[in-house]
Structure 1
Amino acid sequence: MHETSLGGTLRDYLTGEEIDETTFEEFRQALGRFLVEEKGYPLQQIKGKVKLRYCIDGEEYERPLDFVVYDKMGRPVLVILFCSGEVGSYERETVCAGRLLDGGPVAYALVTDTMDASLIDVMTGEVIARSMNAVPNYEDLLQMTHEVETRPLTEEQREKQTRVFHTYCGFLYGTCCSESCSLPPK
């Protein structure tokens, strides 16, 4: 997905700061509002555009993740990626992001185009629910995370997940999702 600036600014729902208006930012803002106002996520437990930094063959890259949701102890429990296409096409990339996130792996990952969604168990990679109704409310998410055992990746697992993530992020779908992405142009 390639994100393009529209030349204006808008107010970020989560932080209240002025941010660049882009082709996808209104969708992200609607998703943030949905999480808070309809699903009960506390503003302070959601961070937007969290940078996932990784290294491939000695080169550093970063990919901003649309949202990361944290539990009350400050541990990441859910990664959310916005996609502009068939949600199922982005599930593997989203699982990798959930496994590679600092402080993770997280228990769950969600990929959505704001019309459809897949909620994924990050440890198994299995889709456990589909549709926007798959988005759990915050208290249910916290309860669900108590039932999931997450294990840190071994170095070998991390290397494999990083390569898969990089393939999806940089080559299968074009450059990542913003001008701040550090992937080199094709």
Structure 2
Amino acid sequence: MADEHHYVFGETEDFLTGEVLTDTHDERYRQKIARILVEEKGYAKEDVRPRLDLMAQAGENRRQLMVDFAVSVDGKTAMIIRYAPGSLITRHRPCIAAARLLEPYQVPFVVVTNGEDAQVLDVKTGKVIAEGLDSIPDKAALEELAGDAAFDPIDDKRREMESRIIYTYEAVGACNCDIC
């Protein structure tokens, strides 16, 4: 049986930007998450930045990865969301690494999701603080959570280590279609 997340249905319009995208199973889940953020969680479309590039590097090896969504409150990215099919637990560490690389500071919260389930992690502790798609913080809750967060700067040595971590988890041995 073929891996169905590679099947292309044609094209679809991005809910947040109106951009025309390739319509795949994965993209349908991403669009579902975007709609949840805006229609159920109260974020303005402008609060949610989709498809952000993230360069991962381990020594001379480099690979462009993607953060599916960065959610901002009060002008700062307070939460990132990364989608991937399959197990959520295997996505924790690379998503924490992404939260330490995307901005010059540590993004305090990460959501890992496969489109059917989700886990919200506190990046500072690495602990799951909530589970289920319904547990993704709404705008008011994220504003409150972010108000207590430190947004700690990430030094160059830590950035290098986090880049190696995400590269190892997501680029070594990965199928090109699984990278973005």
TM-score by length of 1: 0.87
Which of 60, 71, 74 in structure 2 is aligned with 1:72? 74
Which of 8, 11, 16 in structure 1 is aligned with 2:10? 8
Partner of 2:121: 120
Map 1:26-65 to 2 at 5 A.
Answer: 26-65=28-67
Once residues 173 and 17 of structure 1 are traced to their aligned partners in structure 2, the CA distance between those partners, rounded to angstroms, is 27
Name the SS for the 2:126 alignment partner. coil
Once residues 102 and 148 of structure 1 are traced to their aligned partners in structure 2, the CA distance between those partners, rounded to angstroms, is 15
Aligned-residue offset at 1:148: 1.4
Contact 1:169–1:176 (CA under 8 A) maintained in structure 2: no
Once residues 141 and 155 of structure 1 are traced to their aligned partners in structure 2, the CA distance between those partners, rounded to angstroms, is 28
Once residues 139 and 60 of structure 2 are traced to their aligned partners in structure 1, the CA distance between those partners, rounded to angstroms, is 38
Amino acid at match of 1:26: R
Partner of 1:169: 170
Q: Percent identity?
A: 29
Amino acid at match of 2:37: L
Amino acid at match of 2:90: S
Which of 9, 17, 20 in structure 2 is aligned with 1:18? 20
Amino acid at match of 2:60: G
Partner of 2:101: 100
Range with bigger deviation, 91-100 or 167-176: 167-176
C-alpha RMSD over aligned residues = 2.1
Alignment length (residue pairs): 178
Once residues 105 and 177 of structure 2 are traced to their aligned partners in structure 1, the CA distance between those partners, rounded to angstroms, is 21
Name the SS for the 1:171 alignment partner. coil
Aligned-residue offset at 1:94: 0.9
Contact 2:109–2:122 (CA under 8 A) maintained in structure 1: yes
Q: Which ranges of structure 1 fall in alignment gaps of 5 or more residues?
A: 182-186
